[in-house]
A and B are shown apart, each in its own frame.
Chain A
Amino acid sequence: MELVVSDLACARGGVPLLEGVNLRLGAGEALVVRGPNGCGKTTLLRTLAGLQPALEGHVSCPPETMAYAGHADGLKAVLSVAENLEFWAAIHGQGGVNDAMAAMNLTDLADRQAQNLSAGQKRRLGLARLMVTGRWVWVLDEPTVSLDVASVALFGEVVRAHLAGGGAALMATHIDLGLAEARVLELTPFRALPRAPDGFDEAFL
């Protein structure tokens, strides 16, 4: 399995942000996307995850092979930690809820409602969801926000285990996860030049 992205261009709110993005990601590899605020990291990841269409270019893997984790964790406040995870596991037709909770140090919190968790605990639960998706590529947008040092290390271990199992990870992060093998992709050179509106409808968007 290999993810190949060729000549990808993507836009946010009708404004092209990135163009000519090329990247390759094989099994067991991690790629960290870097760039200043507003350069299009989130837009790139959302485009790859299939949440918005690309302006041009080609992505070799369909969005069905990717598990996306964005800024929001997608937790239901009145469901417990275990119930939240069980729901996502059922949606993806997977098991392994207990393993995921153990890996992210959530076992003690299994019966607590998500609304009573701290920000860091919520984040850990949101990241534990990745493990019950059974997807090959993890697409992570700022996964370490509100995590403490120990939890960052814990999550680094989880990502490393995913890579060792033949998975891959594509992440936008400013914090070092302790993944020495991760390659870095700097997005600044791919900044898109302003384009003329290419259609009648586009002129009004």
Chain B
Amino acid sequence: MIALLARDLRLAIRAGGGFGLGLAFFLILAVLVPLGVGPEGQVLALIAPGILWVGALLACLLSLDRLFALDFEDGSLDLLATAPIPLEGVVAIKALAHWLTTGLPLVLAAPVLGVLLNLPGPAFGWLVLSLLLGTPALSVIGAFGAALTVGLKRGGLLMSLLVLPLYVPTLVFGAEAVSRGAQGLPAATPLLLLAGITAGSAALLPFAAAHALRINLR
């Protein structure tokens, strides 16, 4: 399993792996929004939590459609399905590799982009914390969507349509935690719900995704 994680990280970093693509998208979005909305600090501060969370969500989605599609095309997925490690483990490891190459950089870059969006001072900690708790759920739910659409031509578009509605709870609680933090209100409840979504999806969805993969491999 560690070998699979190492391979996926190595593939992401090498040429054409798409490492940093999501991060660049996130950066551009956070730069474009102030240009579009205007420089009024109050308006920006109001919408910053939502924009940052929507940006993180879309950036995550960018690299998801290749999660299983590449392995499917070159035949590795057949071979991984017949390998000694369970397919559920393969899904979990690939989701983890996706989070390490996409989600974690977003978490680390978010405070810098918060400055661009005039995010109020007290909210920075909550922003990092909520992204840290919420982005793993984005990767796992996305892995499920990618498993459902693997093997379909232009499956990426269909995957976005399937996955984005499933992202709604994560987005609602994540953005809510940050905006509560910005207003100085207690933000523990949405954060706990966010952590619950992540734990629940990480526990259940690898099984669903592995089953979807087996059906798609037939």
Q: Tally A-B pairs: CB < 8 A.
A: 67
**For the complex, is A52 an interface residue (Cβ under 8 Å from B)?**
yes
Decide: A91 and B4 in contact? CB cutoff 8 A: yes
Residue of A nearest to B80 (CB): A91
Residues of A within 8 A of B3 (CB): 86-87, 90-91
**For the complex, is B217 an interface residue (Cβ under 8 Å from A)?**
yes
The listed residue with most A CB atoms (<10 A of its CB), out of B11, B78, B85, is: B78
**For the complex, is B153 an interface residue (Cβ under 8 Å from A)?**
no
**For the complex, is A88 an interface residue (Cβ under 8 Å from B)?**
yes
Residue of A nearest to B13 (CB): A78
Q: How far is the CA of A86 from the CA of B2 in the complex (A)?
A: 12
Q: How far is the CA of A74 from the CA of B70 in the complex (A)?
A: 10
**For the complex, is B81 an interface residue (Cβ under 8 Å from A)?**
yes
The distance from the CB of B82 to the nearest CB of chain A, in whole angstroms, is 5
Residues of A within 8 A of B38 (CB): none
**For the complex, is A26 an interface residue (Cβ under 8 Å from B)?**
no
Decide: B218 and A73 in contact? CB cutoff 8 A: no
**Which positions 95-128 of chain B face chain A at CB distance < 8 Å?**
none
Q: 22 A-B contacts, Cβ less than 8 Å apart?
A: A50-B82, A52-B218, A67-B82, A68-B79, A70-B75, A70-B78, A72-B78, A73-B74, A73-B75, A74-B74, A76-B74, A78-B14, A78-B16, A83-B10, A87-B7, A88-B79, A90-B2, A90-B3, A91-B4, A91-B85, A92-B83, A129-B79
Hey, which bits of chain B sit against chain A, CB under 8 A? 2-4, 7, 10-11, 14-17, 73-76, 78-85, 217-218
